[in-house]
Amino acid sequence: MSIASSRTALLALIVVSLATAIVPASTAQTFTVLHNFTGGADGGLPYAGLVMDQAGSLYGTTTSGGSTNCGGYGCGVVFKMSQKNSSWTIDPLYSFSGDLDGASPYAPVVIAPNGTIYGVTSAGGGSGCNGLGCGTVYSLRPSPTVCKTTICHWSETLLYSFQGGADGANPGSESLLIDKQGNIYGTTSAGGAFNDGTVFQLTLANGSWTKTILYNFTGGADGSGPSSGVIMDAAGNLYGTAPEGGVGAGTVYKLSPVGSGWTETTLYKFQNQNDGRSPVGGLILQSGSLFGTASEGGELLGGTVFSLSPDGGQGNFSVIDSLPGNGYLGPTGSFATDQFGRFYGASVVGNGPDGEVWGAAGFYFSGCYGSFPGINPYGSVVVDSQLNVYGTASVGGGCSGVPGEVWEFTPSR
């Protein structure tokens, strides 16, 4: 079977097709806009994907909007969406000021077991990085007093402000990782010893957080400019992607704890051929293999879905799907998986004119060119137990100027 023909076979062979899902009913696929952002207090331009808590509420970030002016566009918002009966409501939990607390969160949040939200902003936190600030790591908690209003704002704690230069700058656009001990791991796309990005760790001791750089990318064979976060295996090894470096098309890397330090291993260097190039999204570890996406290139010029042994090596790399895209940007967010281990994702352009949800019966965003609103789903998606897929589009309203939307897609079944 060719890579081109594997588009249909991907879920059928690798993760079971949706035709064999739970309910054998014949319901048509539906696409629903849950919220159109206004660019005001609710936020605007959501580039990050969503996360879901155990109650089924959705959490996300917007890069602009909110209550404070950052160059005329607002400094960004962390929001929560809750469902009651068939209606969804949005609650802006926190509005960034653009000062020490941060600005422009391009990354999704992560929810700790105690309900604390953690995230990063790409700017703010100080006066460095051309006066815009070099980014922050923050946490959010509900107000300790009972909220008596419709909108209940949360309190932010600044965990760390990046200083630029050797310290790192501009945290990546994917979620942080929190291990069982409560340590936080993430990446910066710039700064570090060689100005090619870093992998960092934050450790809490005696009420304060200490940052340690675990690895400085050199921009050579190891990679450069990591946008995604890292994942951890049972042995404590970290894995991630870098969209540049290697032989120029990006890498998959592994960091292993050795003594008091960490050792980097480049597991794969993208060749900018049928394997794709520029792996922007993160990885998942499933059934002993790493899975990820390349955002560009591949046989159908819309990026690829790949698998790789955690031991690495060019010979242990496999393309399991080549995504259509005609040379435009493909998937930039990370995978989501359902309870059956099936993969879901979104492409910024893909086979439709303005993006697609793949691995879920192939819904195409039609944006300016059709009846469905929304274009450019940059972020990751999330899937609930009923196989409904949720995500964001950075522009909503069929290109009518609406600054983004939250959407729900229900595949045919």
Question: What is the predicted pLDDT for the residue at 126?
Answer: 86
The average pLDDT across 312-332 equals 83
Between residues 26 and 244, the one the model is more confident about = 244
Average confidence (pLDDT) over 256-275: 95
Asked if residues 261 and 213 have their Cβ atoms less than 8 Å apart, the reply is: no
With a cut of 80, say whether residue 10 has pLDDT above it. no
E-assigned strands of 85-166? 87-95, 110-111, 117-121, 136-141, 155-161
Identify the weakest region by mean pLDDT among 65-79, 104-118, 383-397: 65-79
In percent, how much of the chain has pLDDT > 90? 60
* Exposure string over 339-360, b if 16+ CB within 10 A, otherwise e: eeebbbbbbbbbbbbbbbbbbb
Q: Does the pLDDT at position 375 exceed 70?
A: yes
Taking residues 209-234, what's their average pLDDT? 97
- Per-residue pLDDT at 4: 38
Kindly report, residue by residue over 252-261, the tens digit of the pLDDT: 999 999 988 9
In the block, which residue shows the tokens 């570090």? 192
Local confidence band at 25 (pLDDT 50, 70, 90 cut-offs): very low
Contacts of 234 (CB under 8 A, 6+ apart): none
Helix (H, G, I), strand (E, B) or coil at 200: strand
> Would you kindly state where each structural domain of the chain is located, as residue ranges?
220-333
Q: Looking at per-residue confidence, does 367 or 220 come out higher?
A: 220
* Window from 203-212, 229-238, 300-309, 314-323 with minimum mean pLDDT: 314-323
For residues 2-22, average pLDDT:
31
pLDDT value for 90: 95
Looking at residue 143, its pLDDT comes to: 77
SS3 14: helix
Asked if the model's pLDDT at residue 16 lies above 60, the reply is no
pLDDT band at 12; cut points 50, 70, 90? very low
User: Mean per-residue pLDDT for 244-269?
Assistant: 96
Contact criterion met (CB below 8 Å) for 330 and 337: no
* Residue 401 confidence (pLDDT): 66
Q: Label residue 351 by pLDDT band (50, 70, 90).
A: low
In this structure, the chain runs to a length of 413
3-state secondary structure 147-212: CCCCCCCCEEEEEEECCCHHHCEEECCCCCEECCCCCEEEEEEECCCCCCCEEEEEEEECCEEEEE
> 120-144, pLDDT tens digit by residue?
999 999 888 988 899 999 999 987 7
Q: Rg (Cα) of the chain, in Å, rounded?
A: 20
d(CA 330, CA 326): 10
DSSP summary character for residue 167: G
Q: Which of 1-15, 191-205, 242-256, 295-309 has the weakest average pLDDT?
A: 1-15
Stretch 322-329: mean pLDDT: 81
* β-strands 184-190, 389-393 pairing: unpaired
- Comparing C-alpha atoms, which of 216, 215, 241 is closest to residue 230? 241
pLDDT in tens, 159-199: 999 999 999 999 988 889 999 999 999 999 999 999 999 99
CA–CA dist 28, 8 (Å, integer): 19
Q: What is the mean pLDDT of residues 79-85?
A: 93
Cα 7-305-6 angle, rounded to 5 deg: 20
